[in-house]
């Protein structure tokens, strides 16, 4: 199995884990006050992991299928995808918003901030999941 295929499958598994996290956090029984903070932290970490895997996968995909790019940033990858007409302007803007929100909230270790990020995660997850389907190896 090629690395790109293996990474794609791993990414889909990570997305499934993020979906379970979103579902758990929405469940009022599971998200009682004593559990809610841990669920929010877990969800934030799952999102962060999925985001990192997503942009790195796109970078690898671009390098293998489209053009060689040298970048260590998700932002440049999303601009490159848009430049290659692989994602729409609206999708690019959503990924850039994701980057901005991730930088603002992640690594703060503040439950109030993580609760704010949580509100955005389901929407970010849905666009990540929708777009990745176009990049199956």
Q: What is the tens place of the pLDDT at every residue in 70-104? A: 777 889 999 989 988 999 999 999 999 999 887 77
Span 3-135: which CATH code?
1.20.120.330
Q: Which residue has the higher pLDDT, 67 or 57?
A: 57
Q: Which residue has the higher pLDDT, 70 or 60?
A: 60
User: What global pTM score does this model have?
Assistant: 0.83
Task: Please report, for the chain, the start and end positions of each structural domain, with discontinuous segments joined by +.
Answer: 3-135
DSSP string, the chain: --HHHHHHHHHHHHHHHHHHHHHHHH-TTTT-HHHHHHHHHHHHHHHHHHHHHHHHHHHHHIIIII-----S-HHHHHHHHHHTTSS-HHHHHHHHHHHHHHHHHTT---HHHHHHHHHHHHHHHHHHHHHHGGG--
């Amino acid at each position: 199995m090629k690395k790109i295929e293996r990474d794609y499958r791993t990414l889909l598994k990570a997305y499934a884990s993020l979906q379970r996290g979103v579902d758990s956090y929405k469940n009022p029984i599971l998200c009682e006050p004593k559990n809610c903070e841990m669920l929010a932290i877990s969800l934030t970490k799952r999102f962060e992991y999925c985001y990192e895997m997503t942009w790195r996968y796109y970078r690898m995909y671009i390098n293998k299928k489209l053009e060689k790019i040298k970048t260590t940033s998700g932002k440049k990858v999303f601009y490159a995808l848009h430049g290659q007409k692989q994602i729409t302007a609206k999708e690019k803007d959503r990924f850039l918003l994701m980057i901005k929100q991730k930088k603002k909230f992640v690594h703060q270790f503040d439950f109030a901030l993580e609760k704010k990020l949580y509100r955005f995660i389901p929407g970010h997850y849905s666009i990540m999941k929708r777009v990745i389907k176009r990049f199956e190896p």
